[in-house]
Amino acid sequence: MAHLVSIQYGYSSELRISLTCSSKPLTSSNKPNSRLPTRGPSETRRKIPKLNLEVSPHRAVSAVRLMRIEFGGAFADLLNEKGKGSGENEMGYVERTLGFRTRDLDDKDLRLVTDIVGGTIRWRRYLDYLISSLCHDAKTFSGMEPLLLQILRIGFYEILKLEMPPHAVVHENVGLAKVALRPGAGNMVNGILRKLLLLKESNSLPSPKLEGNDRTQARALAILYSHPVWMVRRWTKHFGQDSAIELMTWNNKHPSFSLRANSAKGFTRADLEFQLKTLKVPHELSPNLSHFVRIKTGLQAVIQAGLLKEGLCSVQDESAGLVVTVLDPHPGEIILDCCAAPGGKTLFIASLMSGQGMLSALDINEGRLRILAETAKLQQVDNVITTIHADLCVYAVDTDMRFDKVLLDAPCSGLGVLSKRADLRWNRRLEDMEELKSLQDRLLDAASILVKPGGLLVYSTCSIDPDENEERVNSFLHRHPEFCIDSVNKYVPAEFVTEKGFYSSSPVKHSLDGAFAARLLRA
């Protein structure tokens, strides 16, 4: 039985900076150390008490988180994952950005912050379209201070999408702009939010017309459904306009989550159900996977009850769980997970191996691999896992090891998981797609070397883009006639099997994240 060991392989600096699934292109506006724009001109600042009990804490914290995401390189999902935001530092950020602290957030505030930050990011393009339409000239919008814009976005989102009592929203956001910036900023927020209320009440909100050629229609849809124009054009081309609209609608909804009970710790799905009932978290059993339970709300309660910290369960989308069933791991097998970190799939694979066999978890990212190793210990599956810190392309030519099964869960655009990763749509560029495709080809070539004769290679992504999925497999099969497609139909329910025998989950069709997997058998 192998124990969790770390092996380190050298890798080229060129590949070290290759795109990873979590990579966020650094632009001048989101460089981690770019300075967060703070308050307005100093001569207009008033002396404010450090602890401000008048400003609503959830709005102050939301505005600051939005600034950190847009200008400080923070990731929306990471800020939320920690439960208490960025913990003790949260008020530090608030104080540095706004010039005062608020009272600490309670659980209700935290839920609101999560909702407002996620929603405001998702709806950014639509909100900005309305805000700019309501400013009295284009310059007012283009020259608007970043903090003022965040406050307006929050107000618009609260009124239009959360349907909060409008007068309270106006009052509170005006108050925030006054103390965080200056009285004039408060007056501006007041004027614009009141205009919005009038237009909303008379049902005459500005709206782009869906007419003209493809490009003009894509621009209108990009505003109405708040996505980048290139994504709208791509999805309209691949799936048709109606499906593109359904997909964007899904991406803008509150994400739902599923939990995987960790059988390796003797914790069954029935145990998980019992815990969820005790915590009063509404849930339903997954019809697709026997270890999984779906929840729409209550993730915070699960985190606070310590179920994740104790390694009893993991947050894992069913679409990712189904990739593991496509691999079909068994006790005693020799398996390689090529792009393993942070380990969602590795840990599930390991639990299905019941402590027998060898699972190598390789990744180029040492920090993420460390998280994998720590979670493996916590979930008591470390007895079958060996971590390997390496570039797959270097490892594949340096080692003599050959595996029964190899999983390549490739770095990808993440276009299938936009409902969960609120900010990802604004960070991906069309140019990324080309870079990703060539990285995926290189990684597939490397992974194929490591499959023993008669063995299995599973290629997977969390993308819905044919170029990253079917096209990559077709191109691989041209280069590697020693491999052939093995249909996934024995491993996943029929509704997930494509004509060509690939696994594909679709947000629109299955109400799950989008994912893809192909089983490729080596002669």
Ligand X SMILES: C[S@@+](CC[C@H](N)C(=O)[O-])C[C@H]1O[C@@H](n2cnc3c(N)ncnc32)[C@H](O)[C@@H]1O
Write out the binding residues for ligand X, residues 304-323 only, by CB under 6 A: 320
Instruction: Give the one residue of 18, 173, 217, 325 binding ligand X; rule: CB under 6 A.
Output: 18
363 known member of a binding site: yes
Report how far residue 141's alpha carbon sits from residue 111's, in angstroms, rounded to the nearest whole number: 30
Which amino acid would we find at residue 396? A
Residue 478 contacts residue 513 (beta carbons within 8 Å): no
CB of 421 to ligand X, least distance (A): 12
Q: Which is nearer to ligand X, 112 or 439 (CB)?
A: 439
Binding of ligand X by 329 (CB under 6 A): no
242 by Cβ neighbours in 10 Å (0-12 / 13-18 / 19+) ranks as exposed
Which CB, 98 or 378, lies closer to ligand X? Answer: 378
Helix axis angle, 241-251 relative to 229-239, nearest 10°?
130
Instruction: Give the CA count within 13 Å in the CB-facing half-sphere of 379.
Output: 32
Closest contact distance (angstroms) between CB of 361 and ligand X is 9
Query: What's the one-letter identity of residue 327?
Result: L
Does 344 appear as a known binding residue? yes
The verdict on 416 binding ligand X (CB under 6 A) reads no
Please select the residue that binds ligand X; options are 67, 148, 232, 339, rule is CB under 6 A. Answer: 339
Q: Is there a binding annotation on residue 414?
A: no
In the complex, what is the shortest distance from the CB of residue 227 to ligand X, in angstroms, rounded to a whole number?
A: 22
Q: Does residue 351 bind ligand X (CB under 6 A)?
A: no
Determine whether 462 is an active site residue: yes
The residue among 236 and 387 lying less far from ligand X, judged by its C-beta, is 387
DSSP state of 99: S
| Least distance to ligand X, CB of residue 316, Å | 8
Among 21, 313, 462, 484, which one carries the catalytic annotation?
462
CA dist list (Å): 261 to 108, 321, 413, 520: 27, 12, 28, 29
Angle between the N-to-C axes of helices 183-201 and 124-134, in degrees from 0 to 180, rounded to the nearest 10: 100
Residue from 343, 357, 507, 514 that binds ligand X (CB under 6 A)?
343
Q: Which stretch binds ligand X (CB under 6 A): 59-67, 68-76, 288-296, 385-393?
A: 385-393
The helix/strand count (H/E) of the chain reads as 23, 13
Interacting residue with ligand X among 392, 424, 458, 473 (CB under 6 A): 392
Tokens representing residue 306 in the block: 């310590």
Contact call for residue 409 and ligand X (CB under 6 A): yes
Which listed range, 209-217, 260-268, 338-346, 500-508, lies at the site for ligand X (CB under 6 A)?
338-346
For residues 115 and 409, which CB has a smaller minimum distance to ligand X in the complex?
A: 409
Long-range CB contact pairs, 79-83, < 8 A, 24+: 79/117, 80/114, 80/117, 80/118, 83/110, 83/300, 83/303, 83/304
Tell me the C-alpha distance between 430 and 229, whole Å: 10
CA distances from 442 to 357, 363, 392, 456 (A): 28, 15, 9, 18
Decide whether 97 or 288 has the Cβ nearer to ligand X: 288
CA–CA separation, 251 vs 416, rounded Å?
9
**Which residue, 73 or 146, is less far from ligand X as judged by CB?**
73
Known binder of ligand: residue 240?
A: no
CA 488/CA 502 separation, integer angstroms: 6
Three-state SS letters, 182-193: CHHHHHHHHHHH
Q: Which stretch binds ligand X (CB under 6 A): 56-64, 196-204, 216-224, 342-350?
A: 342-350
Exactly one of 411, 416, 507, 514 binds ligand X (CB under 6 A); that residue is 411
Coil, strand or helix: which one is 260? strand
Q: Taking contact as CB under 6 A, which single stretch among the options 85-93, 285-293, 357-365, 507-515 is the one that binds ligand X?
A: 357-365
Q: How far is the CB of 397 from ligand X (least distance, A)?
A: 12
* Least distance (Å) between residue 301 CB and ligand X: 24
Instruction: Please say whether the dihedral angle defined by the alpha carbons of residues 454, 459, 460 and 463, taken in this order, is positive or negative.
Output: negative
Report how far residue 411's alpha carbon sits from residue 364's, in angstroms, rounded to the nearest whole number: 11
Answer yes or no: are the C-beta atoms of 291 and 260 closer than 8 Å: yes
Residue with tokens 């170029």: 467
> Does the protein bind ligand X through residue 21 (CB under 6 A)?
yes
- By the 8 A CB rule, do 83 and 134 touch? no
Candidate list 246, 391, 404, 468; residue touching ligand X; CB under 6 A: 391
Q: Which of 188, 358, 393, 396 binds ligand X (CB under 6 A)?
A: 393
Binding part of the chain for ligand X, among 116-124, 215-223, 362-370, 500-508 by CB under 6 A, reads 362-370
Strand, coil or helix: what is 5? coil
Based on CB atoms, which residue is closest to ligand X, 110 or 462?
Answer: 462
Q: Kindly indicate which of the ranges 14-22, 251-259, 468-476, 502-510 contains the residues binding ligand X, using the contact rule CB under 6 A.
A: 14-22
The pairing of beta strand 403-409 with beta strand 451-461: parallel
Please identify, using beta-carbon distances, which residue of 288 and 461 lies nearer to ligand X.
461
Kindly determine how many residues on this chain lie close enough to bind ligand X according to the rule CB under 6 A. Answer: 22
**The one among 363, 382, 423, 465 contacting ligand X by CB under 6 A:** 363
Q: Which residue has the tokens 């190899």?
A: 406
Rounded to the nearest whole angstrom, what is the least distance from the CB of residue 392 to ligand X in the complex? 4
Q: Could you give the residue numbers annotated as active site?
A: 462
Interface residues with ligand X (CB under 6 A)? 15, 18, 20-21, 320, 339-345, 362-365, 368, 391-393, 409, 411
Extract the annotated binding site. Answer: 339-345, 363, 391, 409
Extract the annotated binding site for S-adenosyl-L-methionine. Answer: 339-345, 363, 391, 409
